[in-house]
Structure 1
């Protein structure tokens, strides 16, 4: 934890909070122009106007990058913490204008599989970077910075949806506990979820927080315009099929896969950019793949706080490389203490950085109430509230994943047993081998066979055993929450039933 004695540029004040979150794409050896981009990210944060109070970064994997950024912004954000986790690190960092009084790295109990080494989620030890920040006046602020498990298939067929939902449940519990302690809560990060998905609804409901962007624009998108739920929403609300850049960035808050981001361009366009041939992107250009994966959650709406502004920022280019600073765009929120919270649409109009191309009638349709919005949404996987059907679908998700992992566990343990028998048989056969080359082949088969079998045995016996127990805990919590909300009474399932 870095707690330099340098004083902030402006005196601290709890009358407002300027918060920013960014997935900065800092994978060592993989992310192109990493050092140059990370250095420029630090400069962008340092010269942000008005100055920032709290920043959460994701995919800041290397400590040297963190050090460079913290040195660059120490006059504005003198207090910071780099979080260590897993084999390669969690990639999380928090920067603050005020001292960090307490810090914890909470690792998710369900977080990918070691066999998916090419994806890396399990190896980086994803979790929640927790920091308790104490301004000189006002309530303490508890920051929860995270990066949920990445989706590799589209919901609801994503094989990791159970992991991501369980992670959302965990961070929601952390934020709810902080609220119960009387703290202001900020949830920052790349949540790898679309608005109103399982994870999104869980975080808002169980975490007692609100997504500041949806608070400002309750009728904004629920995914990319190529996704069926968003297509249905746009059709039923009378919107055009594909949003333009203006609408995508400034109304829907899209931070990922937008055409504005050079790292989302085709390979040919990126190569042309490196050779100095740029591609002009206009505000009226279509932005069909853009979606919102980065969020700021807040709990202060019932205690005299309001969202004054929510915007997508850091959309500019590196001054010399001409590439976007990350493969995600940043989200910034200005939260202000006020007696009467402004209406979302009025606040949006006042704070929107560019003039909207929407008509007033269209804006009124978008700002429909929750009941009308629900009728315009696909029932699966998109939801707008936690209810009986919601809990039932989570339990079905858990059951489906449990059956999958039990089958995988049996297969891997069986592989270990078979590999052991083959290995012993190969060693015995060497005694009667007629030639040396046959003995050599039997030795190779035995060695590599038992190596692969042992790895599968360890994964099936240790990792999957731990995973199924964590899944059992998650299922109990869901069933208990369902019962407390008026659902059926539940009994603890004997652990032996999880293995049979």
Structure 2
């Protein structure tokens, strides 16, 4: 964590977003090291072991909020551990030179099996994507610039990513600057934390860390550049800064010198972007959720069957022990201790199975159905019969530009936003720079 903090302190970032900072001590360490360049910070504290997400900013963070995702793994998956983390959507609001900027960060549930058929957490990440898309869309319609950065644990070909990009909708900074190729951030061949076996499936790694953004009403934004800035190794060490690569973006931002568009018309205009793609993504997401709901029913039946078997075994332990056993010295005592332990284990397992079949699976099923209803609403409102014509002339620029803002052009007066995911002693970074200039044409 010290190396991460030292690296950030030598850069001219304006905002840094971190994920997987599970320990408060690590957060305090980084905060101390970057205090001279990023004096404002906030840690999103939620869940059993915390969210692991936090914000560091050069300018004051005016407001913060956190939305806990409705689903986040299973409590019995102890080796995965995602259920114990308060995964969700962190939000911070800052003002920069009169621009209202909303900054979101998330860390989605990890993928432990890249086979979609065997990936039991795919439905959970779809829930993450839908909740993120809806929260960003509904809470940032009036923001001049909206940034969403973090570790989504999903590739561009996957539905959770496509939901965030097309349903919200948001621009992918890497795609805007470099096209669809490249940008791999996880399990890359040059990273010291990459297992060689993982390169068999993806020799170049996977792109699962992103900086996404959208401009607000009467604002124009575009990507100037997007890169992976971290060196392969920490200076003087044979270790990478993180098990993921950093993502750095510079975004051009200016106000449109044209007929102002109302927030209502802007929202309607945004909802009409790439409708056919959006409908296809929503349909695919619904299929995943339907399959996940069916799986909860199957798992409930399995849990109940195992529960009945355990109950039967518990009854068997109360069958009188043959007298022949009690004839051995201490035999009766040993049998009683053994049966007590067996009964205790069976009772604990039965309680767990009862909770899973009645409470946890019910909660999961309700969360999946709620998300499915949200997708139905989106699909209904974007069906061909519901399309409405919108006058988009107010979005057209007309000549001169005044008081424009540049993102990532002039380092001395800029505001930079960085997102980082640090797992244990490693961290991931997404970096954005915002700068302003006054100019007239």
Map of 1:423 onto structure 2? 314
Partner Cα distance (1:487, 1:468) in 2: 30
Aligned equivalent of 2:286: 395
Write the mapping of 1:287-302 to structure 2, written as runs, cut at 5 A.
Answer: 288-300=203-215
Paired residue secondary structure (1:134): strand
2:178–2:226 contact (8 Å) kept in structure 1: no
Q: Aligned partners of 1:43 and 1:164: how far apart in 2?
A: 33
Aligned counterpart, 2:344: 447
The Cα of 1:384 is off from its aligned counterpart by 9.3
Task: Judge conservation of contact 2:66–2:90 (CA < 8 Å) in 1.
Answer: yes
Q: Distance in 1 between matches of 2:371 and 2:255?
A: 39
Q: State whether residues 73 and 109 of structure 2, in contact with CA within 8 Å, keep that contact through their aligned partners in structure 1.
A: yes
Match of 2:192 among 246, 262, 280: 262
Alignment match, 1:385: 277
**1:114 Cα deviation after fit:** 1.3
1:156 aligns with 2:116: yes
Do the aligned residues in 2 keep the contact of 1:149 with 1:160 (CA within 8 Å)? yes
**3-state secondary structure, aligned to 1:125:** coil
Residue 430 to residue 109, structure 1, CA distance change in 2 (3 Å)? farther
CA deviation map 1:244-275 (0-9, x unaligned): xxxxxxxx2221222221222649xxxxxxxx
Give 3-state SS (helix, strand or coil) of 2:102's partner.
Answer: strand
For 2:321 and 2:240, locate their aligned partners in 1 and report how far apart those are by CA, in whole Å.
61
The answer on whether the counterparts of 1:56 and 1:94 sit within 8 Å (CA) in structure 2 is yes
| Distance in 2 separating the partners of 1:320 and 1:163 | 40
The 3 A distance-change label for structure 1 pair 54 and 426 is same
What is the root-mean-square deviation in Å for CA atoms of aligned residues?
A: 2.7
How far apart, in 1, do the equivalents of 2:319 and 2:127 lie? Answer: 48
2:91 to 125, 130, 143: 130
User: Do 1:44 and 1:314's aligned partners in 2 also have CA atoms closer than 8 Å?
Assistant: no
Q: Mind listing any 5+ residue stretches in structure 2 that lack a counterpart?
A: 257-274, 327-331, 387-441
Aligned residues: 357
1:46-195, aligned counterparts within 5 Å? Answer: 46-48=9-11, 51-135=12-96, 137-157=97-117, 158-195=119-156
Asked whether the equivalents of residues 261 and 315 of structure 1 are also in contact (C-alpha less than 8 Å), the reply is no
Match of 1:306 among 207, 222, 245: 222
Displacement after TM superposition at 1:385 (Å):
2.3
Aligned to 2:419: none
Look up the match of 1:42. 5
Name the TM-score, length of structure 1 as normaliser.
0.66
Q: How many angstroms does 1:305 deviate by?
A: 2.2
Query: Which residue matches 1:246?
Result: none
**CA apart distance, 1:47:** 0.9
* 1:472 alignment partner, SS class: helix
Contact 2:63–2:93, Cα closer than 8 Å, also in 1: yes
Q: Which residue of 1 aligns with 2:233?
A: 317
Change (3 A) 1:206 1:166: same
CA distance, structure 1, for counterparts of residue 323 and residue 59 of structure 2: 75
Distance in 2 between residues matched to 1:264 and 1:310, nearest whole Å: 23
Alignment of 1:303-382 (within 5 A): 303-338=219-254
Match of 2:160 among 199, 205, 211: 199
Q: CA separation of 1:407/1:429 partners in 2, compared to 1, >3 Å: closer, same or farther?
A: farther
Q: Distance in 2 between matches of 1:95 and 1:313?
A: 19
Structure 1 gap ranges (5+): 1-37, 222-251, 268-286, 341-382, 490-500
* TM-score of the superposed pair, with normalisation by structure 2: 0.75
Q: CA deviation at 1:155?
A: 4.8
3-state DSSP class of the match of 1:71? Answer: helix
Tell me how far apart the structure 2 counterparts of residues 178 and 433 of structure 1 sit (CA, whole Å).
74
Structure 1 residue corresponding to 2:353, chosen from 453, 456, 468: 456
- Counterpart-to-counterpart distance in 2, 1:433 and 1:486: 77
Task: Work out whether residues 179 and 299 of structure 1, in 8 Å CA contact, stay in contact via their aligned partners in 2.
Answer: no
Q: Secondary structure at the match of 1:257?
A: coil
Which of the two has greater strand per residue?
2
- Tell me if structure 2 keeps the 8 A contact 1:80–1:93: yes
- Aligned twin of 1:379: none
Does the CA-based 8 Å contact 1:295-1:331 persist in structure 2?
yes
Structure 2 CA distance, aligned partners of 1:476 and 1:66? 38
Higher relative contact order structure (alpha carbons within 8 Å, sequence separation ≥ 6): 2
Residue-by-residue CA offset, 1:312-339 (whole Å, 9 max, x unaligned): 1112422232211111111111123247
Q: CA deviation at 1:71?
A: 1.1
Deviation at 1:156, TM superposition (A): 2.9
